[in-house]
Structure 1
Amino acid sequence: MFDFSGKTALITGAASGIGKATAEYFFGCGANVVLADINEGAARVVAEALDPSGERVSAFRYDAGASVSAAEVVAHAVERHSGIDHLVSCAGIYDQQITAEMTDEAWRRTIAINLDGVFFLVRSAIPVLRDNGAIVTLASVAAHVGGTGGHAHYGASKGGVLALTRGLAKDLAPRIRVNCVSPGLIETPMTGGLIGRMGEDILKQILLRRYGKPSEIASVIAFLCSDAASFVTGETIIVSGGAYMG
């Protein structure tokens, strides 16, 4: 575990899956945590379970595809904790549509939430990020391989996150470090459908012969935000159990 005492982490997509595990991990390391999610009710349940007093944890309704929502959640973090030290963008969507049948709406929604949302959030947070802070974005192995069939839009959105991360690292250096994590197949509500459809076929591609746990991504995110990674910026760590070695 790392020591984030006195630090503030703003984590999006924090009501479930990797975002929830990351919020739990950072709280356990002593951080103040703002849980941002489109499902405010679920985020509040997580917040209350972590910190019934509400002193160190709060929940906020956040729509990743709306720039105004990014500004609002950043303002909330500043109001509660005077600034932000660690920014983690876990919010995202993952649906299936064959490219030939994909609607304009499906394409734009995926890009808006998975890619535009990262840009909106970081842009809003830059003025209030404290010196020596850290940003971690979430891409996916799909960004490196193009995704599985029917997920070209998802792969494209996450490929954009990889490029955006590197650009941000250049723009924000040396004051802020920016890195990315590319998870493989992690057992979350978002991936349940894929695991159900492909099951053993996917499992055979994973060298460790199991699916990842959200906590195993959370610990890598925490590492990248910690002083242990103080000379790491502009990098992507792939966490896939050996399914992809880029």
Structure 2
Amino acid sequence: MRLENKIAFVTGAGGPMGQAIALRFAEEGAKIAITDISERRLNQTKEKLQEYMDPKHVFAIRANVLAINEMREVIEEVSSIFGNIDILVNVVGGIRDSTLEKSIFEIDDERWDQTMELNLKGTFNCTKLVAPIMIQNGYGKIINISTIHFEGEKGYSDYGAAKAGVASFTKTAAKELSPTINVNCIAPGLIQTSVLERMDHETLEEYRNQTLLGRLGKPTDIGNAALFLASDESSYITGHILPVSGGIWPHL
């Protein structure tokens, strides 16, 4: 069991990637605390987790990671219940707009600000609040979620810039929190989540053809990568951005 007796806190756990990460950690022996802004989706993940593990080793609480005072209370409760937090996975992010791809000229102030906040603020808040617990206990793994678009992608100026911020924050945190905490980042390609419902068939096929493996990513692909970065097998890796993208490398 690669995470036996470890305490993992996963944000955005109601979504496909967050759920896949939480389930993979549970399979490897971790005790799991999860949060999501959607109570319905959060409870679905909680029910699936309880199929793998003792229900008392699962703690689920609805919360908004963008509200630091709310998250302070959540993290204090998680720490009180489990006594520690060994692993933090910051999954929350995305684009709220129903239209994903927009030019620089089409993106208004509201979308720009929302995208920046959604992708950066929760990651910052949770890292800031959890890191002191890890430092006090002398151990910690933090995993952030960026995207291969962080180097730039036409039609995603806001999302790419926000995720570039996540990548940069990962490297800064790796320096500031060393040597106690390993901080790494996963840069997914296009993963089979609800985002596919907002993309046309032509765009999906174009992306699929760009991959070396000829397929879209699955949430479990992200779960497996997160497991490696959360385990002691990655103990000499920090400040790294790991593309999980079927061979597509972040590029301009």
CA distance, structure 2, for counterparts of residue 148 and residue 27 of structure 1 = 38
1:8 aligns with 2:3: no
Task: Kindly state the Cα deviation for residue 71 of structure 1 after the two structures are TM-superposed.
Answer: 1.4
CA distance, structure 2, for counterparts of residue 197 and residue 32 of structure 1 = 42
Task: Kindly state the Cα deviation for residue 199 of structure 1 after the two structures are TM-superposed.
Answer: 2.1
Which stretch shows the higher mean deviation, 21-30 or 88-97? 88-97
The structure-2 alpha-carbon separation of the partners of 1:197 and 1:81, relative to structure 1 and needing over 3 Å to count, comes to farther
CA distance, structure 2, for counterparts of residue 73 and residue 85 of structure 1 = 15
TM-score, normalising length from structure 1?
0.93
1:133 aligns with 2:140: yes
Q: How many pairs are equivalent?
A: 243
Q: Is the 8 A contact 2:171 2:239 kept in 1?
A: yes
Identify the residue that residue 55 of structure 2 maps to in structure 1.
Answer: 54
Q: Is the 8 A contact 2:94 2:119 kept in 1?
A: yes
**Pairing partner for 1:147 from 153, 157, 162:** 153
Identify the residue that residue 180 of structure 2 maps to in structure 1.
Answer: 175
Amino acid at match of 1:9: A
Q: Secondary structure at the match of 2:199?
A: helix
Identify the residue that residue 41 of structure 2 maps to in structure 1.
Answer: 42
List runs of 5+ in structure 1 lacking aligned partners. none
Identical-pair percentage: 34
Which stretch shows the higher mean deviation, 56-65 or 119-128? 56-65
1:158 aligns with 2:163: yes
Identify the residue that residue 212 of structure 2 maps to in structure 1.
Answer: 207
CA distance, structure 1, for counterparts of residue 22 and residue 4 of structure 2 = 14
CA distance, structure 1, for counterparts of residue 243 and residue 208 of structure 2 = 17
TM-score, normalising length from structure 2?
0.91
Amino acid at match of 1:164: F
The structure-2 alpha-carbon separation of the partners of 1:232 and 1:121, relative to structure 1 and needing over 3 Å to count, comes to same
Q: Secondary structure at the match of 1:244?
A: coil
Task: Kindly state the Cα deviation for residue 69 of structure 1 after the two structures are TM-superposed.
Answer: 2.8
Cα displacement string for residues 104-150 of structure 1 (whole angstroms, at most 9, x for unaligned residues): 22111111110111111100111212322100000000102x1341x
The structure-2 alpha-carbon separation of the partners of 1:54 and 1:240, relative to structure 1 and needing over 3 Å to count, comes to same
CA distance, structure 2, for counterparts of residue 245 and residue 154 of structure 1 = 14
Amino acid at match of 1:131: G
Identify the residue that residue 33 of structure 1 maps to in structure 2.
Answer: 32
Task: Kindly state the Cα deviation for residue 79 of structure 1 after the two structures are TM-superposed.
Answer: 2.2
Identify the residue that residue 88 of structure 1 maps to in structure 2.
Answer: 89
Which stretch shows the higher mean deviation, 152-161 or 35-44? 35-44
Amino acid at match of 2:153: G
The list of structure 1 runs, each at least 4 consecutive aligned residues, that deviate by more than 4 angstroms after superposition, is none
CA distance, structure 1, for counterparts of residue 79 and residue 154 of structure 2 = 40
Task: Kindly state the Cα deviation for residue 245 of structure 1 after the two structures are TM-superposed.
Answer: 5.8
Q: Is the 8 A contact 1:142 1:148 kept in 2?
A: no
Cα displacement string for residues 4-28 of structure 1 (whole angstroms, at most 9, x for unaligned residues): 1111100011012111100000011
Coordinate RMSD, CA, aligned: 1.6
Task: Kindly state the Cα deviation for residue 31 of structure 1 after the two structures are TM-superposed.
Answer: 0.6
